[in-house]
Amino acid sequence: MSTLMKQTRVMIRANLSSLPRRLAISLSMALSVALVVCVLAGFLAMAKGFETVLTGAGSPRVAVVLGGGTHQEAGSDIPASAIRTLDAMTGDIGVSRDTAGNLLSSRELVVPVDVKQAEDGTTRTLALRGMDAVGPMIRDGITLSQGRFFAPGAREIVVGDHLAAEFGLHVGDTVRLGAVDWTVAGHFSANGSAFESEVWGHLDAVRAAFDRQGQVQSLCLRLTSPASLGSLQAKLSTITSTPLVAVSEADLYAAQSGRTASLIRLFGWPLALLMAVGATAGALNTMMSSVSDRTVEIATIRALGFSRLSAFLGTWVEAIILASAGVALGLATAWLAFNGWQASTIGANSARMAFQLTVTPDVMLTAGLLGLAIGILGGALPAIAATRLPLTAALRTRG
């Protein structure tokens, strides 16, 4: 081991062993770092959970056709004539067909509906998606967890597992959506994605119940392969009656999640950084106090011949160790408090969308690095101060 390493090890040991003498201020530094890390991890976990739930909803094998010049389902409208033209197309248009040669497609309409929560009687707005009977089969990752799917034309709904649990909607229950009652025919799972925050029913029944006769917002199509989206778009451009655009379901939901996740991060980062500035000032104060407390020890060791660098490293490493303790505490708290925590927001269809905060390794890494940066920056100046202590202090001061 080099002499510098040996010197530094002694300095670090001397510093850490004397921590009990300044326990309160050292704890306050670690706690302030923990707070910053916990807050940032919370915001990042929220953004990550939101991204996960929306990106999980999208499959590259599914195309969503939107009309009316919009790239969002809410403002989209596809005329029946355009759908008939598409259905009439023969040959390979990039869309899978059933055994009868019909396109695997589902006409869809999303209606916001108010539902009372069983728990406290409060009303929440949910998304009721009307779709053709083939709709659930077109999508990836949809499995029936209880009951059966809705019957064509019937006032029946299937409810995502997440909503069923939250709203106490059991199979066979009757629930009022709009002006009419609907029967819960089954529950479905969508791997925890945004679809689990939706209620699905047959398109005709939804249109009839909400007086949306003939309306189709989007057309969901099963692609032959992710690469065939281009072929579909080329075919759509030949339909001149209305502008139609085909986007992959994955891209559609990724774009939605990107906007909201960015917004969450936009709030989270400035708050965490402001807190980090405060914590850095606290770390600076703590470490200056540490250097002051150890003046005699540092000066004594330097008087024996130890280098300035070892004095610098000893103080710096102490700051980083304290920050690391804060990081560990902050991450543990964030994990316990936020990981798996259920949250909800207003989704793209003005309806409630539930998601789960996820403290992932990259969330922990990002928040942890910010915490370490506090120690690195807050410890640097006091470490320099430790190298500039007057050695004469060692000769005439009671240790």
Question: In the complex, which residues of this chain contact other proteins (CB under 8 A)?
Answer: 3, 6-7, 10, 13-14, 17-18, 296-297, 300-308, 391-392, 394-399
Phi and psi torsions of 29, nearest 5°:
-65, -50
For residue 76, report the phi and psi dihedrals to the nearest 5 degrees. -85, 150
Neighbours of 260 (CB within 10 A): 20
Smaller CB separation from other proteins, 1 or 179: 1
Compute the least distance from the CB of residue 2 to other proteins, in Å. 9
- Most distant CA pair in the chain: distance in Å? 99
In the complex, minimum distance from the CB of residue 317 to other proteins, in angstroms, rounded to a whole number: 16
| Cβ 307 to other proteins shortest distance, Å | 6
In whole angstroms, the minimum distance from the beta carbon of 57 to other proteins comes to: 58
Long-range interactions of 17-25: CB distance < 8 A, separation 24+: 18/293, 18/294, 18/297, 21/293, 22/286, 22/289, 22/290, 22/293, 25/285, 25/286, 25/289
Least distance in Å: CB of 294 to other proteins? Answer: 10
Measured CA to CA, the distance from residue 84 to residue 89 in angstroms comes to 9
Residue number with CB closer to other proteins (14 or 343): 14
Cβ closer to other proteins: 45 or 301? 301
Minimum CB–partner distance for residue 388 and other proteins (Å): 10
H or E stretch covering 221 = strand 218-222
55: tokens are 């990106």
For residues 131 and 113, what is the distance between their CA atoms, to the nearest angstrom? 16
Task: State the Cα–Cα distance between residues 291 and 72, nearest whole angstrom.
Answer: 59
Distance (Å, rounded) from C-alpha 210 to C-alpha 355? 28
Q: What is the dihedral of CA 237, 243, 246, 249, to 10 degrees?
A: 180
Rank residues 274 and 395 by Cβ distance to other proteins and give the closer one.
Answer: 395
* Residues 34, 335 contacting (CB under 8 angstroms): no
Least Å from the CB of residue 297 to other proteins = 6
Cβ nearer to other proteins, comparing 188 with 306: 306
Which of 299, 321, 325 shows the shortest CA–CA distance to 310?
299
- Smallest separation (angstroms) from other proteins to the CB of 283: 23
Token couple for 301: 């060791």
Q: Which is nearer to other proteins, 88 or 304 (CB)?
A: 304
Q: Which is nearer to other proteins, 348 or 383 (CB)?
A: 383
Please, what is the minimum distance in Å from the beta carbon of residue 286 to other proteins?
A: 19
Q: Measured from the CB atom, is 106 or 315 closer to other proteins?
A: 315
**β-bridge pairing 156-160 and 198-202:** antiparallel
Tell me which long-range contacts 336-341 makes (C-beta under 8 A, separation of at least 24). 337/38, 337/42, 338/41, 338/42, 338/45, 338/46, 339/45
Q: Specify the residue, 317 or 348, whose C-beta has the smaller distance to other proteins.
A: 317
